[in-house]
Each structure stands twice: as C-alpha cells, then as structure tokens.
A and B are shown apart, each in its own frame.
Chain A
C-alpha cells in the first residue's frame, strides 16, 4: 500500500470521508462503492468518486437495502472490500437482518472461517427538521448487535482516518457521520487515528465530558464557555464506539473525578448508559460525585424546529450539567 496522502487543505467532514475512500480505491482495486445515489453522492461521502473511478466501481443501486447490504456481505466474503453508502443510517433498519444476523454473525458462527470486510456509511443525527425517520443516531443499536465495529467522527481529521481504518479492517464497520457537521471545516493532520481510539480535546481537570459526533462539537463549545467561570472541562471524543476506548475514558475520570456523558441517541440503553455503567463499575473509587447522562428523552425526533431543539442536548445543557456537578 502506498503512503497515505493527507489532504493538504482544510476540509469539511463529508469530503474528508470521500478523500479517504478515494485513496483506498487508488490503493486497492478490491474497494468498490455502492448504495443509494452514490454517483451523485447525495450525502457527501461518495461525491466525486465516479469521476475518477467510473460507474464500474461506483455503483448506483435500487432502493433495496436488504439486497445491496446482503450482496455487499457476499462480495466481502468473496474477496472484495465494499463500501456501502446507505444514505441515512436509519435506513439500515430495512437491512437489519443483513447487518446484524449476517454481517455481524458470519465470522463467529463459522468458527472464524469467513471474514466480512464491509463498510456501511450513513448519516446520523438531526440536521434540521427531517423528523422521526431520518434524524436518529442509532449507534447504540449497532453496538448491541455485536460483531459490528462502529465509528462516529466529529471532525474532518477523524473522518479521514477512521474511514481509512474502516476500509482496512477485516470486520464489518458502520461509519456514522452527522449531517449538521457538514459545514465545519478542519485540517487533517498526518497523525493517524484508528479503530479503538478517542481524542481528548481540550484537556481539563475538573470534569470529563464524553460525547461523539455533533455532541462532541457541542461539548467543546461548552468547555470554551465554562473557561471564564474557571471550570476546566476535559472533552473525550469517543469517535470509536466499537472498540470502545475504555483506557481513555477511565483515565480521564481517574483524573477529573467527574463525568457527564452526552448522547444524541435515546436515553434508554444508550451509548451514554453504557459509558456511565462502565465508569460506575470500573472507576467508582475515582468518582467524587454521581455521573450525569444527557441524551434524547425516550421519544422519536419531532419535526417542528423548536420541538427538535427541545429533545437534543445543546451547548447550554452540557455546560449546565458540567457546572452543576463541579459546583455541586
């Protein structure tokens, strides 16, 4: 494999995903892209790929999620490395048998004979009134499924490196990207990031805030807003959810003694719940106070803009929770 070429200019998040895919396609002829409207690249991660690689390797599919994810499972077993853009990650529910009971099980139930090096990429999260079926963050479902790797980058740097790692992985990987982060620009540093990594930024001493995707961006904003109050927030961006970067998570709380866990998924059995439970089990002695979870209440995402905003944690919610547990 040739040396990785890091994008030289500041990027938005979705084009950084596309850069990683196109580099992988140049490096490895087995990488093939298919899914819904991938030639146009509606959601961004596949935009422009058809110009370089042609319609043979960038394949528009019928809206048949079960079959095109299932065919990708078979193609992966058969020696290709498919990257499937499912558009909205909640469309994966249509293909859940193929993702969960097939991609997530084949290696195990064949005693390790089969590898499924498959990437499924989809947007996750609310981006302004797409309502209940196009706005969810289903990461907890993918974690509970077992057998799937899951990443959820919040910056172009994370997007580039985690997509590369996903394509190189021998496991099925779900790559989530937040549609509301499309406008955020950032540079991609040559320092690689892989499955199982977290990014700690900013470093702080008073309270750890754990978050992914848009929530990680909001957590960083909350950290900045608390600086003038003398509250030092450490944000642990859990950009790899499986493998879960437990060392980084536990290490942060051992330092700060306080934890706020933020999640754009629904509260019950959320990623936030998993992180909070892990902290309670494994870092109880370090905790100076109770863990706070901030997540979407157990309702679907509503349509009306004010209602959508009301159910998703924002910068002020995160700052308030951090302030509250620091000040007591």
Chain B
C-alpha cells in the first residue's frame, strides 16, 4: 500500500515537471525509480523505456510498466500489478492534463504578452539539456555499461549511433529501426 502511495507521489510530481515534453523528465524519473526507490533495476528502466518506443500512442505511456514492476517488486499479488500500472498512468497524465485544461481557458488573455516568447526561448535550452540528460540516463545502461564486455558495449554503441545517423539522412519510421535493433541484438549479443 505504501508503495502505491509513493508511486502516486513520484509520478504526479514528474507530470508537472515535464516541461517541453516527456523526455525532459527521463533523468529525474530514472533517478527516482532506480536509485531512490529501487522499483526497477537500471536494466529494467532501459528496457521499459525502449519497449515504450515500439508501442503506438504517446511514447511515455511506458511509465505504466514501471508501476507494474514496482508492485511486483514490493511483493504484492499479481492482480495488484495492474492497479500499480493504472495508478502510475493516472498520476503521470492527469495533473498536467488538468493544468493544460485550465490554462487553455486563460491562455488567450496572455496571447500578446511578450513574456510568453521569453519563456519559450528561455526554456528551450533547458529542455534540450534535460533531454540530453535523458540520453545519458538510459545510455549509461543501454549503450555503455561497465558491467558488460568491451565487445558488447561496442555493439550497443554502434547500434545507437547507426540509428541516430540513419534518422538524420533517411525518413524511416523509428519503431521499425528499433525493431531492427532488436534483431541485431538477438543476432550479435547472445551469449556475450
């Protein structure tokens, strides 16, 4: 029960901190769920994040899986796992949605306020910095992991950089590329 309340607290706060989109809270989410609460391992976090990239819809819906694992981790029965998932999804989507709903009412009043432009310009580099920290948060497990061999890490880094490069030059559905990453992983990373 205490875990469910903690999940609610953590993800409600993350919801309201997600400035500039969901990726901006990845580093904080990783820190809270892996290091502070130990709901998921660093490997779990990287896997869950990347599974989320393959599902349709908003890519941060994967946060539900963290709730799912957290409940299992706390030793609660299996049926509760879906409750954990539901709590996290509600906690992560509802606060920001309420805020947006309310703010879209009063937004028009600020339409010509020059500070709006300042906020957008000022926040842009912070959002990018947070997304970069998100790359680091997932990458320190998924791309360069000291627990793995040099050979393993060189493959994971190559796969990541290849995806980055391909997406810059070709218009391909990213979900497809991630699936290809899975095939490459299955082929080259087994048993090493």
Is the pairing of A and B real? no
Taking Cβ atoms with an 8 Å cutoff, the residues of A that contact B are none
Taking Cβ atoms with an 8 Å cutoff, the residues of B that contact A are none
